[in-house]
Structure 1
Amino acid sequence: MNGMGTLYVVATPIGNLGDITLRALETLKQVDAIAAEDTRHTVGLLRHFGISKPLIAVHEHNEQQSAEHLLNRLQAGNSIALVTDAGTPAVSDPGAVVVQAVREAGLIVVPVPGASAVITALSAAGIVQPGFWFEGFLPASGAQRRKRLEQLKLLAGTVVLYEAPHRIVECMADMQMVLDAVRQVTIARELTKTFETIHTCLLVDAVDWLQSDLNQQRGEFVVLIHPPVVQKQVGLEAGALRILQRLLQELPLKQAVSLATDITGHKKNELYEAALAIKSGDSLKQD
């Protein structure tokens, strides 16, 4: 490794320490110093793998100042690894300011990839439609959050969000209010950890599911908002689809479609097509 004047952007495990890569370990062992979001957290990671290196704190409150300090060290010939508490620096975590400053100074930035909460959640959700939009964290303010959801509602693909445990219920309630209630959502919690949970349901049921077990409100969340496929395919309004979904939970498909036809007044063919699409989506759920 030629680390002179090089910044290594090193991904660390998002939970299970066994997910660290051999390349990441080799990099952390050979650099001159490690810039970390939380030095206390990183000390534990390094200690687990028998690594001892000088640590430099780089977090959201000092990132601009730290970028100048790291740049000086890199220009002096030091090699530095940049890490966050979990996952990849500069992706919904501190690091982008440092990377930008180093690149603008003409020095080399080397990515050392690893575990990703986004890709981990997508791989286990069974969403067959291609494409996704990574949003990261929504605004903490309810009004601003709902405003942003109104904009995201227009996207055709999967929308990927991060959310903190103390906001997950109110975030899901806002999603239920702004988006179609029959749109599917996958809630991925504590990925790669002991209490990992990957649950898919309709938005209309998401808040109840979270509130039925307080343990499901703990940990860090990745939320996948599925594409609104059914609505686009069959042109039914949310109310009719919700009735159909409820009937399908209790009755065989043909009987549910027949009863939904009587209740909603929609054509039987439209409802049957919608029922098949819903059943197809059900087969992809992860509980």
Structure 2
Amino acid sequence: MTMLYFVPTPIGNLKDITYRSVEVLKAVNLILAEDTRVSGKLLKNYDIQTPMLAYHQHNEHAFTDKIIERLKNNEDIALITDAGTPGISDPGFLLSRACVENQLQMTCLPGATAFVPAIVTSGLPNDKFVFEGFLPPKKGRQKRLQILKDESRSMVFYESPYKVLKTLKDFKSTFGGERLMSVSREISKLYEETQHGSIDEILELYTDQKPKGEFVIIVKGLD
């Protein structure tokens, strides 16, 4: 039966891909990739010669119907992103919804997702947490933060190195400088690190030290 596969890819170390993921990527008719240049390095490393097609946030609305038609024509297709699990702060939702609407089969393979190792090593409560991903860059940002002000669960955020300081300052204004947090960057890469402390302490650290790499930020919920 025709299948759409959501295939997680390494978030750092290329060895963090499962045997099954490699097998699927070799077996499908087409791979949808967020950036074919980035994914090309991964495919070359594992001698995967399956054709690729770019599928990203700028074209997914236009291409989703075409992908559904290819699935209806009995093509097996895999969706990958630059790093991590498709659909988690990356393209994937539109295609998943379209498969449900068209009663097409899909499955998501287990694999790399940045927030899991970050919250495990945060030292903060992780029995319950809320995943926020990237905050709105401008419109709706303060409104979202105010909604989270009284959140009792640990909160998980993604952030780029260019906006980390702004986000930390916003956190201080919203949650207070004494609120505990952790910041993980370069997960599974050579310079992986996780910093623990108060918002004030982490803000001071990255004021003195230029932020590098993609960040996963965990903020403790309100006691």
Shorter chain as normaliser: what TM range?
A: over 0.9
- Picking from 200, 205, 216, the partner of 1:222 is 216
Distance in 2, matches of 1:23 and 1:202, equals 40
Contact 1:146 1:175 in 2 (8 A): no
Off by >2 Å, runs of 4+ in structure 1: 143-147
What's 1:196 paired with? Answer: 192
Counterpart CA distance in 1 for 2:158 and 2:142 is: 15
Query: After the TM superposition, which residues 36-55 of structure 1 pair with which residues of structure 2 at under 5 Å, given as runs?
Result: 36-55=33-52
1:245-256 pair list within 5 angstroms: none
Q: Report the alpha carbon displacement of residue 147 of structure 1 after superposing the two structures with TM.
A: 2.4
1:250-285 per-residue CA deviation (whole Å, 9 max, x = no partner) reads xxxxxxxxxxxxxxxxxxxxxxxxxxxxxxxxxxxx
Please give the per-residue CA displacement for 1:199-254, whole angstroms capped at 9, x wherever unaligned. Answer: 0111122221102211xx1110100001233xxxxxxxxxxxxxxxxxxxxxxxxx
| Amino acid across the alignment from 1:192 | S
Count of residue pairs the alignment pairs up: 223
Match of 2:15, SS state, is helix
Given that 2:33 and 2:82 are in contact with CA atoms closer than 8 Å, whether structure 1 keeps it comes out as yes
- Contact kept in structure 1, 2:124 and 2:181, CA below 8 Å: no
For 1:84-103, list aligned pairs within 5 A. Answer: 84-103=81-100
What corresponds to 2:180 in structure 1?
184
Return the offset for 1:129.
Answer: 5.6
The structure with the larger Rg is: 1
Q: By how many angstroms is 1:127 displaced?
A: 1.8
Q: Confirm or deny: 8 A CA contact 2:150 2:221 kept in the other structure.
A: no
- SS of residue matched to 2:206: helix
* TM-score for both structures, normalised by structure 2: 0.96
- Hey, what does 1:64 align to over in structure 2? 61
Q: Which has the bigger relative contact order, CA under 8 A and spacing at least 6? A: 2
CA distance in structure 2 between the aligned counterparts of 1:166 and 1:205, rounded to whole angstroms: 19
Match of 2:21 in 1: 24
User: Deviation of residue 145 (structure 1)?
Assistant: 2.2
| CA–CA separation in structure 2 for the residues paired with 1:46 and 1:112 | 17
Compute the RMSD of aligned alpha carbons: 1.2
Q: 2:163 aligns with which of 161, 164, 167?
A: 167
The whole-number CA distance in structure 2 between the counterparts of 1:196 and 1:129 is 21
1:156 aligns with 152
8 Å CA contact 1:161–1:224 kept in 2: the answer is yes
Distance (Å, rounded) in 2 between the aligned partners of 1:134 and 1:111: 19
Residue 40 (structure 1) shift: 0.9
Distance in 2 of aligned mates of 1:197 and 1:147: 31
Work out whether 1:147 is the aligned partner of 2:147: no
User: 2:104 maps to what in 1?
Assistant: 107
With structure 1 as the length reference, what TM-score do the two structures score? Answer: 0.75
SS of equivalent to 2:200: helix
